[in-house]
């Protein structure tokens, strides 16, 4: 049984992670924070030409070697007829919860973000007040409460919002390290979307089965599985690989 477990771990977790690490080494990347591109990736329209309310969830690869296996995620909202977007992040310096720390659709450490999900119109209008309340209710907003691994971090924060507002109906990428972190230790209950069940031990080991989250096996924060809602594989390092 022990040999089978290690064989399973090597094939399902270490092999994808290793191949992505090799691929990552060949990519052009910013050498440091100061020289990275943090500008807009032009994924959102100007508020003046898109007056309707909207909610957007973004995720982008983090910088340097950590980009091999991890994404950073954030939430953007815009009320109807608002003159600007509002971006909510958790970061690893100072007070963790930040508002408009970067451009709403900005690159993260030079990496173009992916749109995890969005809602527009009246549905967004109804959800934005609840999102703002979820930001306020996040329990790890004090200086020094951020931990890159296993959490709480930026992905723990966005997962909190998704759990408080399950109508958003999207799951973070499998490479959003920290999304399954639980301070209480052992957790067994509904998934954040309320469409399935999840069991987790501090976010370091667990299993998820849900329509929105798909099927996920979590070991040491690395996730493998497959997406049910939008068919795709979920691989450590590579993330979501659409079929």
Residues in the chain: 243
What SS3 class is residue 133?
Answer: helix
Q: What is the mean pLDDT of residues 228-233?
A: 94
Whether 6 is in a domain gets the answer no
Contact of 134 with 164, CB cutoff 8 Å: yes
* pLDDT above 90 (res 17): yes
> CA-CA distances (angstroms) from residue 148 to 18, 52, 193, 198?
21, 35, 24, 22
d(CA 88, CA 105): 11
Whether 117 is in a domain gets the answer yes
Whether 3 is in a domain gets the answer no
> CA-CA distances (angstroms) from residue 94 to 39, 73, 86, 227?
22, 18, 20, 36
pLDDT tens string 43-102: 999 999 999 999 999 999 999 999 999 999 999 999 999 999 999 999 998 889 999 999
Whether 225 is in a domain gets the answer yes
> Which residues form the domain of 191?
12-242
Contact of 240 with 227, CB cutoff 8 Å: yes
Q: What is the pLDDT of residue 200?
A: 93
pLDDT tens string 128-173: 999 999 999 999 999 989 999 999 999 999 999 999 999 999 999 9
Residues 6+ apart with CB under 8 A from 232: 226, 240, 241, 242, 243
Q: What is the pLDDT of residue 31?
A: 83
Domain count of the chain? 1
Whether 7 is in a domain gets the answer no
Whether 2 is in a domain gets the answer no
Whether 200 is in a domain gets the answer yes
How crowded is residue 79: how many other Cβ atoms within 10 Å of its Cβ?
Answer: 19
CA dihedral 161, 128, 58, 242 (to 10 degrees): 80
d(CA 236, CA 243): 16
Contact of 205 with 218, CB cutoff 8 Å: yes
Whether 5 is in a domain gets the answer no
Q: What is the mean pLDDT of residues 15-41?
A: 93
CA dihedral 77, 79, 80, 84 (to 10 degrees): -80
What does the mean pLDDT of the chain come to?
95
What is the value of pTM for the model shown? 0.95
- Minimal CA–CA distance to 45: which of 89, 78, 87? 78
* pLDDT above 80 (res 229): yes
> Greatest CA span in the chain, whole angstroms?
61
For the chain, give me the number of helices (H) and strands (E)? 4, 12
């Amino acid at each position: 049984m022990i040999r089978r477990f290690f064989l399973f771990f090597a094939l399902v977790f270490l092999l994808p992670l290793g191949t992505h690490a090799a691929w990552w080494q060949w990519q052009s990347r910013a050498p440091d924070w100061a020289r990275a591109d943090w500008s807009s990736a032009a994924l959102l329209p100007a508020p003046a030409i898109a007056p309707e309310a909207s909610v957007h969830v973004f995720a982008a690869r983090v910088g340097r070697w950590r980009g091999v296996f991890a994404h950073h995620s954030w939430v953007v909202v815009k009320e109807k007829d608002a003159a600007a977007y509002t971006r909510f992040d958790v970061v690893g310096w100072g007070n963790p919860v930040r508002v408009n720390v970067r451009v709403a659709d900005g690159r993260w450490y030079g990496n173009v973000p992916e749109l995890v999900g969005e809602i527009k119109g009246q549905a967004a209008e109804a959800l934005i007040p609840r999102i703002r309340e979820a930001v306020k209710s996040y329990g790890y907003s004090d200086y020094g409460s951020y931990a890159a691994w296993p959490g709480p971090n930026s992905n723990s924060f966005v997962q909190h919002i998704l759990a408080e507002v399950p109508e958003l109906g999207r799951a973070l990428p499998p490479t959003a390290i920290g999304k399954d972190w639980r301070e209480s230790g052992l957790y067994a209950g509904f998934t954040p979307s309320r469409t399935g069940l999840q069991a987790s031990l501090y976010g370091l080991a667990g299993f998820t089965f849900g329509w929105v989250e798909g099927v996920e096996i979590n070991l040491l924060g690395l996730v493998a599985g497959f997406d049910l809602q939008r068919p795709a594989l979920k691989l450590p390092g590579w993330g979501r690989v659409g079929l």
